[in-house]
Amino acid sequence: MNPTTALPVPVSASPASKTHVEKSFSPLVRQFLDYLKLEKHFSDYTVKSYGADLIQFGQFLCGEIGHGAGQAHAADAPPLSGNLDQRQLGCEPLTIREFLNYLYGQNYTKSTTARKLATLRSFYKFLIRRGMLSVNPLSTIRTPKQEKRLPKCLDLEQVQKLLDAPGDADLLSARDKAMLEVLYSSGIRVSELVDLEMGDLDLQEGVLRVRGKGRKDRLTPIGSQAIKALQRYFELRSVDTKSQGTAAHRVFLNKHGQALSTRSVRRKLDKYLQSAGLDPGISPHTLRHSFATHLLNNGADLRSVQELLGHQSLSTTQIYTHLTTQRIKEVYDAAHPRANVDPIGHPAAVPAKPFYPAKVG
């Protein structure tokens, strides 16, 4: 047996006994996660999130959480039987609804609940494709309606304050400035930033090769300020002995000469937000939102922004149009020939003329 795959402990035949589930992956879940990583090329973080959702669902199926966890079953309740794989394969829509009810009782947000449902949908579609099931227990389950939340966005003055905060007097400051400039100039995700390799840069043409979600590469332009910041960073890095090690092929390195992590990027951003006096709730992703919004505000078309962001669906990009309504209204008022014509009164506001029926004969 693979040492990383732990089978769940079988349930005792006694209805009053407590069900126990190892906090590790059952064989079916392990197959699914391997499929996501090796065939779908999902990131390690995404695979980890799917695994955590399925562990929680497995605990629910085996009675460790929800519906009287740790208590004896009622006399009319059927005893839990079979190992976790068997329970997953025998899952019915009612069980899914009970799981959703448990999540609701635990005050999970609608977005988190929707994500967990998406995990289960993917898992059961996988089982059906592999011929292990014929009916999807989630086929009649609806995803909770999501609240529409607009992403945070910085204005140009705030962006300038943030980008000026690191300076470039030493290696680490120059690295941080280059890092922030690239994030805002290209709109790439922070995970894509830390994965950049030296061979992905063409500073002569001003283009990055980005490895997006699902290992789908795309080319993204960067501006002159980001190029200048990168050149300054590389100039200082070339004389740093720690930067010449095994991770030298990576663009952004930590002070030990190893690849920079997404968590480190967040810590550096927090530092510069504080020094610039900006909202501490801003995240690296806010620079991506700002990138998209500023492009649309300055006349870029939605399809081009979709390509630059690496979105598969245009509907994902459309959220940024809500942030540019004022700009669209200004363009309309300036360009449409009848935008500023005096408004026509509503018919109800005009006194009605008396009606005289036509004479007959």
Burial class (CB in 10 A: 0-12, 13-18, 19+), 163: buried
Last residue of a domain, one of 254, 285, 316: 285
Q: Which helix (H) or strand (E) holds 71?
A: none
Q: Are residues 125 and 166 in the same domain?
A: no
Distance, in Å, from the CA atom of 112 to the CA atom of 108, rounded to the nearest integer, reads 6
User: 52 and 96: one domain?
Assistant: yes
Domain with residue 216: its CATH number is 1.10.443.10
Mark whether 288 is an active-site residue: yes
The question of whether 218 is a catalytic residue gets the answer: no
The answer to the question of residue 320 being in a domain is no
Domain annotation covers residue 239: yes
Name the token pair of 136. 């999807």
- What is the reported pLDDT for 68? 53
**Segment 37-69, tens digit of pLDDT:** 998 888 888 899 999 999 999 999 988 888 655
Confidence of residue 353 (pLDDT cuts 50, 70, 90): low
Q: How many domains does the chain have?
A: 2
Please indicate, yes or no, whether residues 73 and 161 belong to a single structural domain of this protein: no
Predicted structure pTM score: 0.62
Residues 161 and 281 in one domain: yes
Active-site residue, 320 included: yes
Among candidate residues 213, 218, 242, 266, the one labeled active-site is 213
Burial of 151 (0-12, 13-18, 19+ CB in 10 A): middle
189 is catalytic: yes
Structural domain range at position 78: 27-129
The reported pLDDT for the residue numbered 359 is 60
The distance between the two most distant Cα atoms of the chain, rounded to a whole number of Å, is 109
285 is catalytic: yes
Same domain, 114 and 60: yes
Q: Is residue 109 in some structural domain?
A: yes
Lowest-confidence segment of 47-56, 179-188, 268-277, 320-329 by average pLDDT? 320-329
Q: Is residue 330 part of a domain?
A: no
